Structure 1
């Protein structure tokens, strides 16, 4: 039997165009893991239809025991209806691990309005239609397609009767509740040599029927693979094209479970199939459904899918799936523009689990704490790949709002490095200034009317460059800005790597005022990440020291020093060579915000995650060493 089918109806996508699709949902059953759990429904998502992540840690999203007669399901197919109101799912009712391959006589039909809550019905052809299907042996790989001529949904599937080796496709219109059929299924298509894993796609008023077919000589199969038939009507006559579409038919490598879906906002179609003997899923593309490129590509995934289907989904649908089962990549949860936000609840540290975030900065504005972070683009990175910055807010340190990307390195046309490194946001005169590192291109500043952005380059050039770091001779000396506005309204900026520098800022916040100074004092072993805050008349300078980095701090009664070294504040953060802190008070509690590499399972020194823990002082104003927790604040 097969593995993977999809009739991703192009018309459905057109009807749902009001809800722009940002990602993809893959419905499948598993080919590895605990045997008794393989033949159960699972979901995975992707932002690009190439890189896939399983939801619910690749555990079933619905129990086959509850939705099937056999206790297992295979070959799930998902369709968005024409009105964009419901999702229709069908699957083979079969539990081969327990019952073997000898017999299955039915399918399951499920319906949902939100992809999360489902109603289900079990349709046993032998029981419901004994006169016609009393001797049926197999009912495989059901799929659904909308028939615009009659305004109904056609469910079709492979049928094999006992004492007959022929594999044909039968179909029937679903009833209005999608719990069964209006009439007994009838023959839809009888390929010359039989076929399984059917998938029908409508393009330009022509139906394309993809299936796994074969070639026989003298009654013996000599070749098999993905074939196609076409018709102007769903009920035929179907014209077979005996050519093989997949790249493996001529190589003697078996594939099955063909599925065709259309890419979001593009003219390309994807033909995918399961190379089930090798545990691979590969695909070829086409713009006309006639000619497919001959060089297949491979899906990147953290699961081993068998026969399933793919549809396009919106950001709101992705968020709904994430709330239920978790695992949706951050790029699908993230708001697309300023008209929307994404609300999530922190579940301990790391606080943000759907992005890799680093180099936190924070500020309190009104009733909210705003958290600004760098963005490590993906897990298991081997270098810093950071192209934008992210912003979040909270009123209670538990429930968070994510906003649309407020600033990108591309917004600084002069930043030829292309690196969106650490930044710091400060508010003055009802404007918000974001000072950012761009690696060797210097420190820039962007401005916005709102704390969540969008921000735009305020200068059109860097505020500080390497030549301003007069005691340094390495390319990345001019990084990690931190801004502090003192009680007398004087703004200061601190920055550096290996050497720590500071200077006054003019009232306009986009010009240096006076000379640049270098910080030095006994015990000062500075690596990077300065941060300055003030409490009860004492200035605190915290910074990263050593490598791997710990956070140390010093105190002074004057922002220009002299500083006194006070010791280590935070030890090496888990699984990360770097650390970068923000310290502030919010609603009567002090907080220490930092990053580590502990996000499971792909975190690391280049794929970091922001964490938050409570900070405490003693009676003399010394900060207690931070206790890093998995629970968070």
Structure 2
């Protein structure tokens, strides 16, 4: 039998004949239709209402949007015996127009991880489904009466028999491991023809033979079985066979996924009009999905940065679909309060665009200097949605009405408003901003943590410059830890600080930062030196601060301070504790005997409890110590302060210690880890801080942060007025 690279029949029609006295037609497989889009079928979690089948679509295989407002498309209580449906797998039938879906019948809130049944489903339009339930111990009491796990079924068409084979993992109440079984579905796809048989036999030397989540794809005349194996290095493994139902041999005990953390739920599919395949899987302990790509199905590269989803899937599968099928799904499940649209103009702060489906409004924050009288937001929509008007519009007088039409539905109008906001000050995800006014250049600079990296895994530092604290220029990278710019660190480029110091007739710039110490010991603090505020910076070969003087916490979040009274230089740092030390004249080492723990105490703990992000300023004979409270991923992350008569404390917590805190009513959260700048020659102060991008408040909030600037003022008695965080930001300063 001739197969293409994907194992699909290339002839227009291929029929299989079986001789049993008379010639009879068993099955007829047609060439699959041309597919141009994708359907992602998934569930979302283990809680009530989450174990249900949901749909999302994509036009490119990389960017997905949930249909039906991410609500179920089938009622789990009607199609299951447990009330929960998990691990859906969808398949296009051999005739090209019938669809088969199978899923786990399990409701975790009541059953835990023990279940007995799976669900078989059949459809001709992806909308209406005929469903059946197979309870394994009830159907096969002699062979499988003790089974209490029936997990993650999948379906594949067997060209040799003309039947649909279902395969899944099972385990009984004994000490036996999970085993992958198979059986053929009956003609109506409502049950099994006979008792299940074992499909995959792990190697005899496997120390743990448990295998679940089988996922088979034909490839170059063979069958590739991806599965989650618990032996050796637990993860997704690959076994290959020349036959669909037997002979699978493990390729390697090494994982084919690209993770070191637990994963499950392999889902592999071929990209339309491409020789590449996507292997995706559920990082179920990390709360996210990962996508990888391969041309040979054995070597995969991570493509997470190319993937976008506005939902959080659990164990699902992707099916290539036609435009006709895509439009049918859009007509049925597309919602006017969840439009598949985006504004793509380079003049926009795209991360801050707000589309409110309930209010039918769109808010477009534009970059500084955008001409609102002739602004084209370049509104784009997914296939199946039309947009009017097109081209530049006059937003200078207020909102402009746009009309959107989903295929097969009535048009809907949205009110679209464009505005020049100055917060965030920097475009993109950045955090822990340290601001500097340079005497040498007469400019302002911001040195942030580069954010947007999962798990705070940023590895480089950048600098931005401005003449007015409003218009910022990206001056590029100043240190790249992956490129070897910091000999002692290989990642976790966090929370820098910088000071400008007059040395002779010129200035030097001392840049302190946290990094992951390659020699062990976790996060430590080092220094780099430059002759100009934009570099080039040269890092010292070893970290400057390696140990916690408090015996706990990480060595992170340095703050350097030159005392205008004594001329002495100090450095402060800490996570869960606050430490201080005097710097030597070389500015790259500390005086060990001056190290002191200054953790503030007093007041209402929730308001002031020191976490990190210390910053020190001097004003009118008083040293102001400011720091961040709570966790950087918390909406309540905020800035508190205390005062001292000395740069080495002790610190007295202010009676009203909160300097800056969230404004939930205006969608501003997690305002913290700040720095402060004073305008030269004036008693005028500005606070530079980060906030959580409100689209990501519940989605990686600790690493979707953005830099903002607002004015900071003092009362007549020297106390700090609480700052109101704004979206509008500040006006340009002179």
Equivalent in the alignment of 1:74: 86
Is residue 51–residue 85 contact of structure 2 (8 Å, CA) maintained in 1?
A: yes
Equivalent in the alignment of 2:103: 91
Which structure 2 residues correspond to residues 109-508 of structure 1 after superposition, within 5 A?
109-192=120-203, 193-216=209-232, 223-249=233-259, 251=260, 253-293=261-301, 297=305, 299-327=307-335, 353-355=339-341, 422=391
Equivalent in the alignment of 2:8: 11
Deviation, structure 1 residue 576 = 3.5
Structure 2: give runs of 5+ residues left out of the alignment: 12-28, 204-208, 346-361, 368-374, 402-413, 421-693, 696-734
SS of 2:310's partner is: coil
| Structure 1 Cα separation of the partners of residues 272 and 415 of structure 2 | 40
Which structure 2 residues correspond to residues 43-54 of structure 1 after superposition, within 5 A?
43-54=55-66
Is residue 281–residue 299 contact of structure 1 (8 Å, CA) maintained in 2?
A: no
Cα distance, 1:93–1:9 mapped onto 2, change above 3 Å: farther
Deviation sequence 1:304-338 (CA, Å, 0-9, x none): 111110001111111111222115xxxxxxxxxxx
Is residue 91–residue 109 contact of structure 1 (8 Å, CA) maintained in 2?
A: yes
Cα distance, 1:17–1:265 mapped onto 2, change above 3 Å: farther
| Structure 1 Cα separation of the partners of residues 7 and 376 of structure 2 | 36
Structure 1: give runs of 5+ residues left out of the alignment: 1-7, 217-222, 328-346, 360-377, 393-400, 407-419, 423-479, 481-528, 530-543, 552-571, 579-600, 603-633
Is residue 293–residue 303 contact of structure 2 (8 Å, CA) maintained in 1?
A: no
Equivalent in the alignment of 2:68: 56
Deviation, structure 1 residue 143 = 0.2
Cα distance, 1:573–1:385 mapped onto 2, change above 3 Å: closer
Deviation, structure 1 residue 16 = 7.2
Deviation, structure 1 residue 265 = 1.0
Deviation, structure 1 residue 573 = 4.8
Deviation, structure 1 residue 354 = 4.9
Is residue 37–residue 323 contact of structure 2 (8 Å, CA) maintained in 1?
A: yes
Is residue 11–residue 82 contact of structure 1 (8 Å, CA) maintained in 2?
A: no
Is residue 282–residue 298 contact of structure 1 (8 Å, CA) maintained in 2?
A: no
Equivalent in the alignment of 2:651: none
Cα distance, 1:549–1:119 mapped onto 2, change above 3 Å: closer
SS of 2:63's partner is: coil
Deviation sequence 1:7-35 (CA, Å, 0-9, x none): x9862899776632121100111127xx2
Matched, 1:27 2:24: no
| Structure 2 Cα separation of the partners of residues 163 and 50 of structure 1 | 42
| Structure 1 Cα separation of the partners of residues 255 and 53 of structure 2 | 28
SS of 1:576's partner is: strand
SS of 1:323's partner is: helix
Greater RCO structure (CA 8 Å; 6+ sep): 1
Is residue 7–residue 221 contact of structure 2 (8 Å, CA) maintained in 1?
A: no
Deviation, structure 1 residue 84 = 0.9
Deviation sequence 1:525-568 (CA, Å, 0-9, x none): xxxx6xxxxxxxxxxxxxx58454689xxxxxxxxxxxxxxxxx
Equivalent in the alignment of 1:40: 52
| Structure 2 Cα separation of the partners of residues 114 and 68 of structure 1 | 21
Deviation, structure 1 residue 41 = 0.7
SS of 1:132's partner is: helix
1:576 to 389, 397, 418: 418
| Structure 2 Cα separation of the partners of residues 577 and 200 of structure 1 | 51
Is residue 37–residue 58 contact of structure 2 (8 Å, CA) maintained in 1?
A: yes
| Structure 2 Cα separation of the partners of residues 389 and 71 of structure 1 | 39
Cα distance, 1:224–1:298 mapped onto 2, change above 3 Å: farther
Is residue 280–residue 298 contact of structure 1 (8 Å, CA) maintained in 2?
A: no
| Structure 2 Cα separation of the partners of residues 549 and 64 of structure 1 | 43
Is residue 236–residue 257 contact of structure 2 (8 Å, CA) maintained in 1?
A: no
Cα distance, 1:356–1:241 mapped onto 2, change above 3 Å: closer
Is residue 386–residue 421 contact of structure 1 (8 Å, CA) maintained in 2?
A: no
Is residue 19–residue 314 contact of structure 1 (8 Å, CA) maintained in 2?
A: yes
Cα distance, 1:545–1:51 mapped onto 2, change above 3 Å: closer
| Structure 2 Cα separation of the partners of residues 10 and 97 of structure 1 | 40
Is residue 39–residue 74 contact of structure 1 (8 Å, CA) maintained in 2?
A: yes
| Structure 2 Cα separation of the partners of residues 78 and 228 of structure 1 | 21
Equivalent in the alignment of 1:505: none
Is residue 65–residue 310 contact of structure 2 (8 Å, CA) maintained in 1?
A: yes
| Structure 1 Cα separation of the partners of residues 417 and 377 of structure 2 | 19
Deviation sequence 1:416-468 (CA, Å, 0-9, x none): xxxx973xxxxxxxxxxxxxxxxxxxxxxxxxxxxxxxxxxxxxxxxxxxxxx
Cα distance, 1:380–1:44 mapped onto 2, change above 3 Å: farther
Deviation, structure 1 residue 215 = 2.6
Equivalent in the alignment of 2:494: none
SS of 1:45's partner is: strand
SS of 1:215's partner is: coil
Aligned length: 361
SS of 1:36's partner is: coil
| Structure 2 Cα separation of the partners of residues 281 and 138 of structure 1 | 24
The TM-score normalised by the length of structure 1 is: 0.52
Cα distance, 1:58–1:187 mapped onto 2, change above 3 Å: same
Is residue 140–residue 196 contact of structure 1 (8 Å, CA) maintained in 2?
A: yes
Deviation, structure 1 residue 122 = 0.5
| Structure 2 Cα separation of the partners of residues 379 and 575 of structure 1 | 5
